[in-house]
């Protein structure tokens, strides 16, 4: 009798286990079907990460993408001819990310390669030493759904060099607009803060590969001048990591490329009086800053070298030689940046 009872219990347990397995499979199938259906109604976001010798930081950038609350994403890493172990690090994430290899052509060419390979309706450009908060993609998508005609949204930012990691609020408009003056006169956000409409970027030809810096500024301004609309995203942020060999850490290079950017824009949009007027204002500021930073850097040079320096500065900035007198008398390198500029 006891044996029969034990067999009965065992038989019932097996039946319950099979029934539980069927219910579990049915639930998983329904959940998967519902999730796939939901994903089809959500725009695909392509996160494009150009990488050059960033083996120390690329993992943090990729991990910040994989932990996003918004899951309908593709991650594309373009290795721009790295000579360190960056490729090996990225390969450890396959197939969760796509890896494209190219010879060293620069960050703009790498981003354009990523654009060509992307399938998303929306694009995010994340540098390989920066990272994203886990809700930034979700907040961007909400913004694009709320304002269907916008071309770029911009979230807040913070710097890894900041002691308190204070979140810097984006100065972009709260409602969609075309703020030409803001884009031409204010410091630009770094790319990871932004989300772009893919069709707009592709229509304008992507990034200018001739520019070693500020190619994102050119793209942004081209979008504004083509009547594109931008807006601030309320929520999420991106973190910028200053690194030693970056252009933003080198004042002379920063202002040199800023001058190059302004002259390129003046040439491209020479028919627009409004644009030319604003660019002249920006040109004057960067021209003087380039003088200050370069002169300060070369103060220890011999007199003959200083003469060569002045000649170089006049060629690059096209400043009146009398400006030398101002530099010598005012000594702006002894002042803070706020006082000088």
DSSP 38-85: HHHTS--EEEEEEESS-TTTHHHHHHHHHT-S---EEEEEEEES-SSS
Residue-level pLDDT at 254: 65
User: Closest by alpha carbon to 152, among 205, 191, 207, 117?
Assistant: 191
Average pLDDT on 116-144 reads: 98
Ramachandran region, residue 331 (left: φ > 0; alpha: ψ -120 to 50; beta: rest)? left
Q: Is the pLDDT of residue 248 over 80?
A: no
d(CA 13, CA 17): 6
Taking every pair of C-alpha atoms in the chain, what is the biggest distance, in angstroms?
114
Q: Report the SS3 class of residue 331.
A: coil
Residue-level pLDDT at 186: 75
Residue-level pLDDT at 285: 60
Q: Give 111 or 328, the one with higher predicted confidence.
A: 111
Average pLDDT on 322-336 reads: 51
Residue-level pLDDT at 97: 98
Q: Which residue has the tokens 């992507």?
A: 206
| Average of per-residue pLDDT values in the chain | 80
Q: What is the pLDDT of residues 175-204, one digit of tens each?
A: 999 988 887 767 778 899 999 999 999 999
Q: What is the pLDDT of residues 287-318, one digit of tens each?
A: 555 455 555 454 555 556 556 666 666 666 56
Q: Is the pLDDT of residue 210 over 80?
A: yes
From residue 215, how far is each of 45, 106, 127, 266, 289 by CA, in Å?
21, 11, 13, 15, 20
Residue-level pLDDT at 338: 39
What is the helix (H) or strand (E) element at residue 197, kind and residue range?
Answer: strand 194-197
User: Closest by alpha carbon to 53, among 320, 246, 322?
Assistant: 246
122-125 and 152-159 strand pairing: unpaired
Q: Give 89 or 24, the one with higher predicted confidence.
A: 89
User: Closest by alpha carbon to 199, among 121, 117, 119?
Assistant: 121
Mean pLDDT is lowest, of 82-86, 109-113, 150-154, 168-172, for 168-172
Query: Taking a C-beta distance cutoff of 8 angstroms, is the pair 131, 238 a contact?
Result: yes
Q: Give 261 or 77, the one with higher predicted confidence.
A: 77
Residue-level pLDDT at 322: 58
d(CA 201, CA 35): 29
Phi, psi of 207 (to 5 degrees): -90, 145
Q: Which residues of 91-115 are buried (b: 16+ CB within 10 A; e: fewer)?
A: eebeeebbbbeeeebbbbbbbbbbb
Q: Give 72 or 280, the one with higher predicted confidence.
A: 72
d(CA 179, CA 203): 20
Q: Is the pLDDT of residue 33 over 70?
A: no
pLDDT category of residue 110 using cuts at 50, 70 and 90? very high
Which parts of the chain fold into alpha helices (H)?
A: 2-40, 58-66, 86-91, 107-117, 136-146, 180-185, 198-203, 215-225, 251-268, 273-297, 303-317, 323-330, 337-340
Name, in order, each residue with C-beta under 8 angstroms of 147's C-beta and a sequence gap of 6 or more.
Answer: 176, 229, 231
Q: Is the pLDDT of residue 148 over 90?
A: yes
Mean pLDDT is lowest, of 19-33, 142-156, 170-184, for 19-33
| pTM, 2 dp | 0.72
């Amino acid at each position: 009798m006891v044996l029969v009872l034990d067999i009965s219990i065992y038989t019932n347990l097996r039946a319950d286990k099979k029934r539980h397995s069927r219910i579990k499979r049915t639930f998983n199938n329904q959940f998967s079907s519902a999730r796939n259906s939901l994903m089809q109604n959500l725009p695909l976001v392509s996160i494009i990460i150009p990488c050059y010798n960033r083996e120390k930081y690329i993992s943090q950038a990729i991990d910040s993408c994989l932990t996003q609350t918004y899951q309908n994403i593709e991650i594309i890493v373009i290795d721009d001819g790295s000579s360190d172990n960056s490729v090996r690090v990225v390969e450890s994430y396959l197939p969760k990310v796509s890896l494209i290899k190219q010879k060293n052509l620069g960050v703009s060419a790498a981003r354009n390669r990523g654009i060509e390979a992307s399938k998303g309706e929306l694009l995010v450009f994340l540098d390989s030493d920066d990272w994203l908060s886990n809700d930034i993609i979700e907040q961007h998508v909400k913004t694009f759904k709320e304002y269907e005609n916008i071309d770029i949204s911009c979230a807040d930012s913070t710097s890894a060099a900041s002691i308190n990691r204070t979140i810097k609020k984006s100065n972009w408009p709260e409602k969609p607009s075309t703020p030409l003056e803001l884009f031409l006169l204010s410091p630009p956000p770094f790319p990871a803060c932004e989300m772009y409409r893919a069709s707009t970027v592709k229509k304008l030809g992507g990034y200018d590969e001739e520019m070693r810096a500020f190619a994102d500024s050119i793209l942004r301004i081209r979008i504004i001048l083509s009547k594109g609309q931008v807006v601030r995203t309320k929520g999420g942020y991106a973190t910028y990591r200053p690194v030693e060999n970056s252009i933003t850490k080198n004042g002379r290079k920063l202002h040199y490329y800023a001058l190059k950017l302004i002259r390129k824009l003046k040439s491209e949009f020479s028919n627009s009086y409004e644009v030319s007027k604003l660019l002249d204002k920006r040109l004057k500021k960067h021209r003087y800053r380039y003088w200050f930073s370069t002169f300060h850097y070369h103060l220890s040079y011999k007199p003959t070298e200083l003469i060569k320096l002045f000649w170089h500065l006049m060629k690059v900035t096209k400043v009146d030689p009398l400006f030398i007198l101002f530099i010598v008398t005012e000594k702006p390198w002894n002042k803070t940046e706020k006082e000088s500029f």
